Chains A and B, each alone.
Chain A
Amino acid sequence: MTWALPLPVVVPLVAAALATAGDHLLPRRLGDAIGVAGAAGGFAFSLVILLASEKHTQLTWFGGWKPRGGAAIGVAFVADPLGAGLAALASGLVLASILYSWSFLRDAGRPYDVLMLLFGGAMAGFALTGDIFNMFVWFELMGVAAYALAGFEVSQVGPLQGAINFAVSNTVGAYFILTGIALLYARTGALNLADIGHSLAGHRPDGLIIVALTLLVCGFLIKAAVAPFHLWLADAHAVAPAPVCVLFSGVMVVVGLLGVTRCYWTVFDASLAPQAHDVRSVLVALGIFTALLGAVMAFLQRHLKRLLAYSTISHMGIALVGVALLDERSLGGAADLLLAHGLLKASLFLCCGILLVRFEDIDELRLHGKGRALPVLGVMFGLGAVALSGLPYVGTYLGHAQIDEGAALDGIDWVQPLLMIAAGVSSAAILRAGARVFLGWGPTSDPLLSPEPSESPPERSASMPALLGVTAVVLVLGLAVSVAPGLGQRVEQAAGRARDRIAYVDRVLRSRETPSPRPPVAIEATTTDSVLYGIGGVVIALGLALVGLYRRRLPELVLGPLRAALGPPIALLRAAHSGVIGDYVAWITVGTAVVGGVWALLLRR
């Protein structure tokens, strides 16, 4: 199987080169076919690798440069199920986006497909590589393709500013990562993840290790849009075409979390395992903060893509908690959550694209009631929103339940209600928007929501059944995540393997294979607590959505104090999300200095 390992990356890249070379020579339909074939090939090979990796971790050394004397020489792709799963999610969503774009952006031209393919190939490369500098290379390719895609519609200032904010923030993050890589290389003289971890094993953490951890984690958290590093994300989403948003929200941010997971468990765990508690507390705090902040900001938006973008930030916070708890069940939960979220959020963005095609607008208030003409789309939108709230056995529920149980096992029992509130509030925002657009509920004006510059989208002609078809397929897959038999157990086993540094080193440097037992095929059982939290999330979502719509019908006795209590913090939050790149980089510096400072105090003990 090792021969297939480079192919999820190589096939899209070759297709991109071919499509570019033939752009002026080949008939247009043939060029389209090359694009789809590249994406489909990448997806197919990712699935093949995912299935193979469940039995054994797959390994290939580029150029045949095998390790000598127990130390790596070349660059390896190491596919464990978690990485291969992300590669499959990424290439699958690229395929869906390209198919959707066929009728959504007919005039986009060849460069659009090519950039999508490069974006997908780079994400797969990042997910599969076992070398820390190679991670940086794919990270940058992913970034460069994404910046160009974000600024794709260059006729307005908004998209350009969004793309610049995105490019500068993420480039700063990339340099943090590179500095962290340089520090690890200075200490260990190695770039292979297994090698670095092996050299660090048993050494107490000093300044170099702690700062390398800080730089790598903060660099990846910029990509993962975790507060206070998240400011670029809503700008980039607000401006990118809907199918591009699918990739940004569905997988690109997930890549950031995989970066944190991979680096922690293959490298830093070797040195920091005794102080894992302190690593955990800082990351859990960041995750909770992000989950709540993103949810509140989502509730304040009226631009649908921006609203969904903030909801993504909230879910990234929840997933970070899963990663940060550092146990097998929570990490598996984060993976399940991100899988369901990626698919569901993708389908919601695709719904927005359809609204844009039909009504040439994407503003919640201006679209008031117009969605009544599209009942099928309304149902899909509503299902997506409810499935994100954690309704038992639907969509993201499984991930939530696993994270909740992980937190309970770790003895951190205050986390679950906060995560429930975050999921509820961000779903409430989506439900409120859906009710206003598709049911015509609530007033047509609301001063609470952020004013948006009106933008006229370019004219589009599209085949509605094709768009609805792609959207429906993605939605159904997302809804089914929580009830797919055996999925929970398999993902948890995958998470366990991603955490097993010793087995990883054995596999990569000593070619020793540890086969995994086959997990049982059954729907994952969850605790009563999780079911209650899930129901709670839905109740919050529905209740708050109604409050958002009919706030003015509340008695002044309730409304007055509410306004007094929430007004100033909301104004402050808005001011912080200023859209100015200088502010964003200032917040990145603040966040990195604080995280690094806290770890410097805690981890040296």
Chain B
Amino acid sequence: MTRRVRIGLFLPALAGFGALLVWAYTGIPSFGDYQGPYGFVLEKISAPLRHMDNVVNATTYDIRGIDTMGEEFILFAAVIGVVLLLRDDAGRSQDVEDDIGSDVVRVFGTLAIGAAILVGLWLVANGFVTPGGGFQGGVAIASGGLLLYLVAGYREWSAFGNETVLDPIKAIGAGGYVVIGLAALVGGLPFLTNFFGGGDIGTVWSGGSAGFVNWSAGIEVAAANVLLFSEFLEEYIVPIARGS
């Protein structure tokens, strides 16, 4: 099929598809008139029953926690896939030059690493109080790891940005989520039951065992993302080092 034939076939179909979408969307309640009831019910119950201010994360990590468990494993599987696809048979290169010379970069970079990790931890910790939570915090922590590469260079980065270190952490994060769920099951409760009670509302201790779930998600996301970045950086750095 030539490009011309493809586009000649595709454009009318796309117009029809667009018309279908618009037709469907006219059936949605007018913008701003969300009718519920699901969301409204959750808003009513999540603070009284679970002492969580942030209803979104109460939904994500407790009420619909099983979705998030699946999501953690999606990330888990994808990172395994990326590592597999980008694996380099020649192994890791040890002779990469460290080309970051400026002290200014080092100082500000080091400060930025600390800041990124602190922000990340804060975001995870306050997941049930303010916006944030395991995923956002985890990526922020991982970006701190990425900054380490900028500051310290490839060799230091690759000392911890590799599978031997990160695979167990990632697996403990994802596995921990399931184990917390199983703990409830062993105790005779439904899988993923929040079994610690709510904790103090409005503090980092709110959330009960969903708090642990949130933390294990944070660990998994951070480790998985560092590994992801590391694999892509590897792809960039190692061939250049070898080629030149």
Q: Is the CB of B63 within 8 A of A73?
A: yes
- Known interface pairs A134-B67, A152-B84, A211-B24. Does A13 touch B10 (Cβ–Cβ under 8 Å)? no
Interface residues of A in 144-159 (CB under 8 A from B): 144-145, 147-148, 151-152, 154
Query: Most B CB atoms within 10 A — which of A60, A154, A589?
Result: A589
Contact with A along B9-43 (1 / 0, CB 8 A): 11001101100110111111100001111110110
Question: Given the complex of chains A and B, what is the CA–CA distance between A138 and B41 in angstroms?
Answer: 25
Which of A3, A63, A154 is in CB contact (< 8 Å) with B63? A63
Tell whether B51 is near chain A: CB-to-CB under 8 Å. Answer: no
Tell whether B172 is near chain A: CB-to-CB under 8 Å. Answer: yes
Q: Is the CB of B17 within 8 A of A589?
A: yes
Which of A74, A138, A152 is in CB contact (< 8 Å) with B70? A138
Tell whether B164 is near chain A: CB-to-CB under 8 Å. Answer: yes
Chain A residues, CB < 8 A from B23: 207, 211, 600
Tell whether A596 is near chain B: CB-to-CB under 8 Å. Answer: yes
Binds B, one of A17-25, A505-513, A518-526: A17-25
Per DSSP, chain A at the interface is: helix
Which of A10, A137, A212 is in CB contact (< 8 Å) with B24? A212
Binds A, one of B130-138, B140-148, B183-191: B183-191
Chain A residues, CB < 8 A from B7: 586
Cross-chain pair count, CB within 8 angstroms = 214
**Interface size classification for chain B:** 35 or more
Binds A, one of B71-79, B114-122, B236-244: B71-79
Question: Given the complex of chains A and B, what is the CA–CA distance between A145 and B28 in angstroms?
Answer: 34
Q: Is the CB of A208 within 8 A of B171?
A: no
- Interface size for A (C-beta < 8 A) is 78
Q: Is the CB of A24 within 8 A of B27?
A: no
Tell whether B168 is near chain A: CB-to-CB under 8 Å. Answer: yes
Chain A residues, CB < 8 A from B163: 23-24
Tell whether B64 is near chain A: CB-to-CB under 8 Å. Answer: yes
Q: Is the CB of A147 within 8 A of B81?
A: yes
Question: Given the complex of chains A and B, what is the CA–CA distance between A138 and B64 in angstroms?
Answer: 14
Question: Given the complex of chains A and B, what is the CA–CA distance between A580 and B2 in angstroms?
Answer: 10
- Known interface pairs A63-B63, A207-B24. Does A122 touch B37 (Cβ–Cβ under 8 Å)? no
Interface residues of A in 187-242 (CB under 8 A from B): 187, 189-191, 206-212, 214
Question: Given the complex of chains A and B, what is the CA–CA distance between A590 and B14 in angstroms?
Answer: 7
CB distance from B156 to the nearest CB of A (A): 20
Tell whether B90 is near chain A: CB-to-CB under 8 Å. Answer: no
Tell whether A379 is near chain B: CB-to-CB under 8 Å. Answer: no
Q: Is the CB of A586 within 8 A of B13?
A: yes
CB distance from A542 to the nearest CB of B (A): 35
Interface residues of A in 51-73 (CB under 8 A from B): 60-65, 68, 71, 73
Q: Which residue of B lies closest to A154 (CB)?
A: B85
Q: Is the CB of A62 within 8 A of B20?
A: no
Binds A, one of B104-112, B173-181, B198-206: B173-181
The 10 A-B pairs with the shortest beta carbon distances in the complex, nearest first, are: A148-B81, A208-B27, A17-B175, A211-B24, A593-B16, A21-B171, A137-B70, A586-B10, A20-B171, A207-B23
Q: Interface of B with A (CB < 8 Å)?
A: 1, 3, 6-7, 9-10, 13-14, 16-17, 20-21, 23-29, 34-39, 41-42, 45, 62-67, 69-71, 73-74, 76-78, 80-85, 163-164, 167-168, 170-172, 174-175, 178-179, 181-182, 184-185, 188-194
Q: Interface of A with B (CB < 8 Å)?
A: 2-3, 5-6, 10, 13-14, 16-18, 20-25, 60-65, 68, 71, 73-75, 111, 114-115, 118, 121-122, 125, 133-134, 137-138, 140-141, 144-145, 147-148, 151-152, 154, 179, 183, 185-187, 189-191, 206-212, 214, 575-576, 578, 580, 582-583, 586, 589-590, 592-594, 596-597, 600
* 24 cross-chain CB contacts under 8 A: A2-B190, A10-B191, A13-B175, A20-B167, A62-B192, A64-B190, A75-B64, A121-B73, A133-B67, A137-B71, A148-B80, A186-B29, A187-B27, A189-B35, A189-B37, A191-B38, A207-B24, A207-B26, A207-B27, A208-B28, A586-B6, A589-B13, A592-B13, A593-B16
